Structure 1
Amino acid sequence: MAGTGTRLTLLLFSALGFWTLWGFPGKNNLLHFLGELSEPGASIPGPTYYPMKQKFTGIAPLDKQLTTLVGFFYTAVDGNRIDISLSFLNLGSQVLAAWILITTESYRAGNKGSFIITSTTLFGLSVVIVGYACVAPIWFALHLWTSKVVSNPRDWNIILEQPIKLAIAPVATLIGFGIPSAVMTLPAPSVISFDTKLNWSALQQGWPIWIYLAQKSLESIATWFQPMVSMRTEKQKRAEMVKYMRRAYLFALGTSAGAHLLYSGLGLAAYFLPGALSTKLQVQLQPENFFIPPNPFSDEKATTLPNGALWFLQWDLVIGVLATMIWGIAVRLSENGKQDDLGAWIKALVEYGVIAAAVGPSGAAVVAVWRRDERALKAKEE
């Protein structure tokens, strides 16, 4: 199994996540600003006046939660703050790359019957409500504690019982997360109305449910067109699993790398090529503010909702995706039985740190898990 130290480190990451996403925002005024959005006469965040939509479902507690979430994410998609928009894009892309890894783990034969590992929709809803940096490290720690694929990373545990599910997963993810996200980013009121933008922002918050529904619908369609899909031989299953696994990992790797390079590239351009950006972008993308969030144990206050939202996204990104990379490395080292080897960890952290600089931390986790899978499958062939 992955070492106890790794699991405890991930739980510490979760504790820090709860503080930076809930304790610190309670001190720095972000939660206060978000609470004001549910008050009568509230306006949408930002310089443009438009009444804040406060009724989405007719269920008061749910509407209040959605008002808070929509108001928070509206600052990332209204086009006024490029630093917030880029942080949101990078965080979302890193989470989606990790989501492919988490989904793949839920389909493995060795994890069959594990409620913790297979309940991905419940995990996703927890991320929406609580935050990725709070929930993901707990899931990673529990996975390392309970997964047979980690304790015994052999071909028969890694294989997928129904490879077609993994073939569908990237498509379902694009439908369930990508479409609502794309629509809510359209400019208002030039392309869509403010009400439409707010409604799609609320709809987007249910992305784990939409991914689940898309996945099940596409699986039904695939079964209808290929009724023998569930009756493959072991050899056919294996060939399909390898093909679909590689496609899914390439999708996850591209998702992580694309947003990471845009995010880091523009931030570094503001430092090294200041003349290439407008004055507004130059100010918003200063690396000391764009890349580095404030000390969460300080008494620093957010003067506006967007400022507090940026800090929230920054800490969610830093803690959540670093936890993802550490988990990926732990999975990789478990394949070699070196999960408790300090030297192996130091070497792996350096190696995957370099990879993360190129493709993002979640991308580095994809590479680590992918290597584990390929080695296990190759060992079976030998």
Structure 2
Amino acid sequence: MAPVGKYALVALLAGMSIFGFRATLGPITTNGLGAVLRDVLDPTTDAALPGAPQPVKTAFTGLKPLDRQLTVLVTFFAALINDPGAGWNVTAFYVWGIAQFTAGWAALVLEGRRSGNRGALVSWVGTVGLLFQNLTWTFAVPLYLGLHLLTSPIAKLGSQGSRKDVGEAARRSLFVYLWDLALIPMAVTLGLVVPTVFMSMPFLFQQSAATHYNWVAFWQAFPLWTVLILDILHNACYYLLGSLSPQDKAGEPTTPGNGFMVAVSGVYEFALTVCAVTHIPLVLLSVLPDFARSALASALPARYTALVSQVTFAATFIPASAPTVDPTNFGPGDLAPLAIHFLQYDLYTGNMAVLLWALYLHVTAAGRPFAKTLEILVFWSVVGGPMAAAIALLWDRDEIVKEGETATPVVVVEAKKTK
């Protein structure tokens, strides 16, 4: 794909950012949800969220501007998580969306750690994460990806030149410290997945209202927690256990490219698993024909009847037509549709941006026939959704690190200590 294609994609990503911003934050000012959030912030009102633990907490750090922003974010998620009138379709999309988001976050963390991005703006994924937490995923991520295409040497990798030249350029740009590759899934799990579980299921842990809202507030800073955990674990493992050298699947010394692919596969497998284990059952349930849905509902305990009947494709994955709420008169089930409507545009637009970016990198760098690219795209979109397709394309693209390298094991990146 010529440079013209890159600039066209950058322009498209900028347009997607603007569209996503308008489709998410724009309606909040008119659909009533913004007014509900403002009422919770207003100390002169006695605003409450029906069904949410009471009282709603509005003080977390003692810093008024930060507490105001945290209260807005916490109230938004409380309106989604704690709305007792929300249907199972809301819960299903929330689970699906969190899984797609987790995989996307893992991919961004991996990208920021690549040697070609080290020290550049695109390596500041923690900062980018905090930005999209406050300015939406759909606004910040397309801009980040556009910056990546314009500034990262990774976006310049191509199939021109000899296999050796292509492989050497890829190895210089794509490599990641081996301890980072081993620890990214753990850092994402501890920094994002665990806080998500605690904030989403307070009933399992018998949380008080204050504890629940503290967990929701803590979750908002998951980009910071992920990066800190990764740095701490990396340094601890390096100094306690020594450095690592490339190894094949059998644990034997191998070439840098093959060793990198063995190590990075753990990150990609983690992301694809998170996508697939949520996407497959939820999408299959959502597209069941009526006769199969009725049969399944009759075979399950009665408490699951609503789950089977409510999780349809249209109700779960298709954005509703401009839902609204009266901020002065609303009850259980009224706020969750507005929050889900926001998240649908947020995730669909942001995830599509990631997929287009990964598709560009695969087409320009991997040197695969387009039929192979299309096969990966279609298969993983069906199995794991758009983020799984993006992850699979990036994984296949990374195979170019093995191009033209010698068969003799060479220690690079980090040298293993001998004892």
User: By the TM > 0.5 criterion, same fold?
Assistant: yes
Change in Cα spacing, 1:231 to 1:87, as seen in structure 2 (3 Å) is: closer
Aligned residue type for 1:208: P
Query: 3-state SS of the aligned residue for 2:206?
Result: coil
Tell me by how many angstroms 1:190 deviates: 7.2
Tell me by how many angstroms 1:333 deviates: 0.7
Q: Do the aligned residues in 1 keep the contact of 2:153 with 2:173 (CA within 8 Å)? A: no
Partner of 1:148: 153
Partner of 2:318: 292
Q: Do the aligned residues in 2 keep the contact of 1:84 with 1:309 (CA within 8 Å)? A: no
Tell me by how many angstroms 1:208 deviates: 0.7
Tell me by how many angstroms 1:90 deviates: 1.9
CA distance in 1, matches of 2:361, 2:12: 14
Query: Which among 124, 128, 139 is matched to residue 123 of structure 1?
Result: 128
Change in Cα spacing, 1:29 to 1:97, as seen in structure 2 (3 Å) is: same
Partner of 1:363: 388
Change in Cα spacing, 1:336 to 1:237, as seen in structure 2 (3 Å) is: closer
Change in Cα spacing, 1:100 to 1:379, as seen in structure 2 (3 Å) is: farther
Aligned alpha-carbon RMSD (Å): 3.0
Partner of 2:416: none
Q: Do the aligned residues in 2 keep the contact of 1:159 with 1:241 (CA within 8 Å)? A: no
Tell me by how many angstroms 1:48 deviates: 5.1
Tell me by how many angstroms 1:78 deviates: 2.8
Change in Cα spacing, 1:11 to 1:193, as seen in structure 2 (3 Å) is: same
Query: Which among 266, 270, 279 is matched to residue 260 of structure 1?
Result: 279
Change in Cα spacing, 1:337 to 1:48, as seen in structure 2 (3 Å) is: closer
Equivalent positions of 1:66-145 (< 5 A) are 66-78=70-82, 80=84, 81=86, 82-115=88-121, 117-145=122-150
Aligned residue type for 2:198: V
Change in Cα spacing, 1:337 to 1:244, as seen in structure 2 (3 Å) is: closer
Partner of 1:242: 261
Partner of 1:308: 338
What whole-Å deviation, never above 9, does each CA across 1:228-282 have from its counterpart, x for those lacking one? Answer: 44999x9675454222201111001111222222432332248664423556446
Change in Cα spacing, 1:62 to 1:219, as seen in structure 2 (3 Å) is: same
CA distance in 1, matches of 2:206, 2:312: 30
Tell me by how many angstroms 1:188 deviates: 3.6
What whole-Å deviation, never above 9, does each CA across 1:315-335 have from its counterpart, x for those lacking one? Answer: 112111111111111110111
1:375 paired with 2:400, answer yes
Which deviates more, 106-115 or 355-364? 106-115
What whole-Å deviation, never above 9, does each CA across 1:153-178 have from its counterpart, x for those lacking one? Answer: 53333442522112111111111112
Query: 3-state SS of the aligned residue for 2:287?
Result: helix
Change in Cα spacing, 1:85 to 1:159, as seen in structure 2 (3 Å) is: same
Tell me by how many angstroms 1:51 deviates: 1.8
CA distance in 1, matches of 2:132, 2:265: 26
Q: Do the aligned residues in 2 keep the contact of 1:73 with 1:201 (CA within 8 Å)? A: yes
Change in Cα spacing, 1:43 to 1:236, as seen in structure 2 (3 Å) is: farther
CA distance in 2, matches of 1:350, 1:31: 43
CA distance in 1, matches of 2:354, 2:238: 33
Aligned residue type for 1:8: A
How many residues align? The count is 372
Structure whose residues are more often helix by fraction: 1
1:14 paired with 2:40, answer no
Change in Cα spacing, 1:379 to 1:96, as seen in structure 2 (3 Å) is: farther
Which deviates more, 358-367 or 190-199? 190-199
1:180 paired with 2:195, answer yes
Partner of 1:53: 57
Query: Which among 314, 331, 338 is matched to residue 361 of structure 2?
Result: 331
Post-superposition, which runs of at least 4 consecutive aligned residues in structure 1 deviate over 6 A? none
Aligned residue type for 2:235: S
Tell me by how many angstroms 1:288 deviates: 2.5
Tell me by how many angstroms 1:213 deviates: 1.4
Query: 3-state SS of the aligned residue for 1:58?
Result: coil
CA distance in 2, matches of 1:46, 1:378: 59
Tell me by how many angstroms 1:227 deviates: 3.4
Tell me by how many angstroms 1:89 deviates: 2.1
Aligned residue type for 2:54: Y
Segments of 5+ residues of structure 1 without an aligned counterpart are: none
Q: Do the aligned residues in 2 keep the contact of 1:169 with 1:215 (CA within 8 Å)? A: yes
Query: 3-state SS of the aligned residue for 1:52?
Result: coil
CA distance in 1, matches of 2:216, 2:387: 25
CA distance in 2, matches of 1:378, 1:25: 50
Q: Do the aligned residues in 1 keep the contact of 2:285 with 2:312 (CA within 8 Å)? A: no
Tell me by how many angstroms 1:356 deviates: 0.7
